A and B are shown apart, each in its own frame.
Chain A
Amino acid sequence: MKTNAGQMTVETSLQINAKPQTRKLPSASTIAFVILVLTAPLFASHYWLMAIITPVMILSLAGIGLNIKTGYAGMVSVGAGAFMAVGAYGMFNFAAHGGITNFPLALLLGGISAAIAGYLFGLPSSRIKGFYVMVTTLAAQFFVEWLFTKNAYFYNYGSVPTITLPPMTLFDLDINGNNTIRYYVVVIIVLLMTLAAKNIIHSHVGRNWMAIRDMNTAAGVIGIDSARYKRLAFTIGSFYLGIAGALWAFLFLGTASTLSFDINRSFQVLFIIIIGGLSSIRGNFIGAAFILLLPILIDYMVKATLGSALNPGFLSNMNKVIFGSLIIILLIKEPEGFDKMLRNLTGYIKRRKS
């Protein structure tokens, strides 16, 4: 019975994931989304640009990184925050100690630091799987938090363990002061890296990841070096997380510490990919928007209906209860996330038309 169940998964996932080899044009919704984000500074308020769209885009990128590990290569990871921290602290240290003030170069080096950390913490994954992989990522989480708090070198011997980027240049543009430039830097990096991720996933590398995810042993039988591809997923996924972490620290928060990348951040990114949909690029964006906007919405609704009579401590706890309940309801009702829900919906509309 177990064997049957296994074969079932392979078949169904092949049906879902085997996209036709011919290159498809981006869908209308994708184009609309890209145009909307690129033109947003023309009509959206500063609050929307810097406090809503920027964090949603950055966490979507983090979601893509985690999705490469968890959604495509099938390794449960709860250490997303650790690799984001390595990216941010890596970039900071190359700038502070290495004197690199070129923004793209420092960012790239931050991403590479995270990729190396991902490679190292991904090494045990060639021998183990499931919850045991989760433990290696948790080890990364706690070790990285400790490393960057206890060793003053990593925050340049400041009086508090926080990091702020020294003045940076970007092709003669002032990245530190101008909000519009900051917005565009984030959006363009995220969009380009999303495109790159899409191409990786549709290449033989992505197909091998999915084969390993669906059945490790079977993938080995057809000649896929699963240990190598698992390490590769850890490295590339961590590179994405590292870039997202650096953007989060310096272009969204401005000043960051390990508290910005604690276990709750890791869970947040995990929720993003689950709610949005595992093994879906679009899902990361939907998930990030949902996870970031939901608390704001709950807060607004509760205040609007119950007024400010309640004390704020009680309010934040009720916020937590509602958030947790919604997660559970979503998992019960739509285990494959919003992406699946959207696919069902478009399928339904298409059937109605024809």
Chain B
Amino acid sequence: MGFMALFLETLIGGVLAGTMYSLVAIGFVLIFKASGVFNYAQGAMLLFSALLFVTLLKLGWPIPLALFATMVVTVIGALAIERIVLRPLANRSTMTLFLATLGLSFVIEGLAQGIMGTEVHALNLGVEDLPIFWGDILISQFDLYAAGVAITLTLLLALFFNKTRIGVSLRAVADDAGAAQSIGINLNFIWQVVWAVSALVGLVAGLAWGARQGVSFNLSLVVLKALPVLIIGGFTSIGGAIIAGVIVGAAEALAETYLGPIVGGGIQFWFAYFLALIFLFIRPTGLFGDAEIERV
């Protein structure tokens, strides 16, 4: 295979894999935008929903029913988290909120694995991972589906934010919570909507990642993969999360192919972070983030 073909194959594979990062990052952006909470438990939520879905399938439930039940449970769980954990912490520092979600991730992981077990499950969504050849270049069919799901999800969210009443109030809250409240927007309601939507996004991401690498504790660590994506795209932009996910995916794949052999491999654990650092030096608020102005 020629240099160009290998380059393109790596690039396309990376871009498609990157949309999987975007899927996770979107869940973060939703919550961060509306309430300033960096939800570390997003990974645990991914794990919980994927594990629940797999367990229900193993019990012999048909796929649609299992999916519906998982949706119901995760949404109820997300609403409970918002009500019990985050509402009492409203107006606290971002640091405190972050740590609370860190504690929350322990609770969710413990519950998920305590009740449903710790073994690794395979998750078959009925998508055959057959390679597709485009000339010389090999493309994973599964990655294509995942990318399709990510794009559809983003379009749906964009419609939701721009066309519905709730979506518009949500953007108002993100812009200025105080002003939004004073014109009669119910902050608590908006936060609940955000957590519910984010849980559903987490479910989609959990199923995609679970089908990819099996449903195990590792799903919870996906959150650490999403952080550099958030830095590059900015914490408050869904479009940014998508683009940054693609950038990170592509750069990681290229680095692993061309740089990896030189330094001994395994660089995917930190490469994304270095990429994020480089972006930080050039644009400290991310590609699409809002600059904060500090006043004395």
Contacts and interface: CB of A to CB of B under 8 A. Distances in A.
A146 to B, nearest CB: 5
B257 to A, nearest CB: 17
Nearest to A9: B93
Given A143-B270, A321-B111, A217 B284 contact: no
Interface in B105-134: 105-107, 109-111, 113-114, 117-118
B103 A217 contact: no
A313 B118 contact: yes
B175 to A, nearest CB: 13
Interface string B227-242: 1100100010000000
Interface stretch (B11-19, B65-73, B163-171, B275-283): B275-283
A274 interface: yes
A1 B89 CA distance: 20
B280 A328 contact: no
Contacts of B106: 320-321, 323-324, 327
A175 interface: no
Contact of B270 (A70, A139, A313, A332): A139
Q: For the side of the interface on B, what is the size category?
A: 35 or more
A218 B296 contact: yes
B162 to A, nearest CB: 27
Given A124-B277, A131-B38, A146-B269, A328 B85 contact: yes
Interface in A207-225: 215-218, 221
A207 B127 CA distance: 60
B159 interface: no
Contacts of A1: 178
Contact of A317 (B94, B113, B267): B113
B95 interface: yes
Interface string A319-354: 111011111100110010000000000000000000
Given A135-B227, A331-B89, A142 B273 contact: yes
Given A215-B294, A321-B107, A128 B273 contact: no
Nearest to B106: A324
Given A135-B227, A217-B295, A151 B264 contact: yes
B260 to A, nearest CB: 11
A321 B273 contact: no
Interface stretch (A20-28, A94-102, A163-171, A263-271): A263-271
A3 interface: yes
Contacts of B274: 139, 143
B88 interface: yes
B92 A335 contact: yes
B146 to A, nearest CB: 24
- How would you classify the secondary structure of chain B's contact residues: helix, strand, loop or mixed? helix
Nearest to B228: A135
Contacts of B273: 135, 138-139, 142-143
A122 B255 CA distance: 25
Nearest to B114: A317
A3 B295 CA distance: 6
A131 B235 contact: yes
A14 interface: no
Nearest to B178: A1
Contact of A318 (B104, B114, B227, B270): B114
Contacts of B102: 267, 270-271, 327
A1 B102 CA distance: 30
B209 to A, nearest CB: 19
Contacts of B8: none
Contact of B280 (A6, A135, A142): A135
Given A143-B273, A217-B296, A328 B100 contact: yes
Given A135-B231, A313-B118, A130 B94 contact: yes
Contacts of B148: none
A136 interface: yes
A221 B296 CA distance: 9
A2 B267 CA distance: 42
Contacts of B269: 142, 145-146
Contacts of B235: 131
A157 interface: no
B20 to A, nearest CB: 19
A327 B284 CA distance: 32
A123 B110 CA distance: 37
Nearest to A336: B96
Contacts of A145: 269-270
Q: Which of B98, B106, B113, B277 lies at the interface centre, i.e. has the most chain A CB atoms within 10 A of its CB?
A: B106
Contacts of A328: 85, 100, 103-104, 107
Nearest to A333: B88
A132 B294 contact: no
Nearest to A147: B270
A299 to B, nearest CB: 14
A204 interface: no
A127 B114 contact: no
Nearest to B267: A146
B270 A128 contact: no
B266 A150 contact: yes
Contact of A135 (B113, B277, B295): B277
Nearest to A326: B103
Contacts of B105: 324
9 contacts: A6-B296, A70-B95, A76-B95, A142-B273, A270-B102, A320-B109, A323-B106, A324-B103, A327-B99
Given A128-B280, A132-B280, A321-B107, 17 more contacts: A3-B296, A128-B284, A131-B98, A138-B273, A139-B277, A150-B264, A217-B296, A274-B95, A317-B114, A318-B110, A319-B110, A320-B106, A321-B114, A324-B103, A327-B106, A328-B85, A331-B100
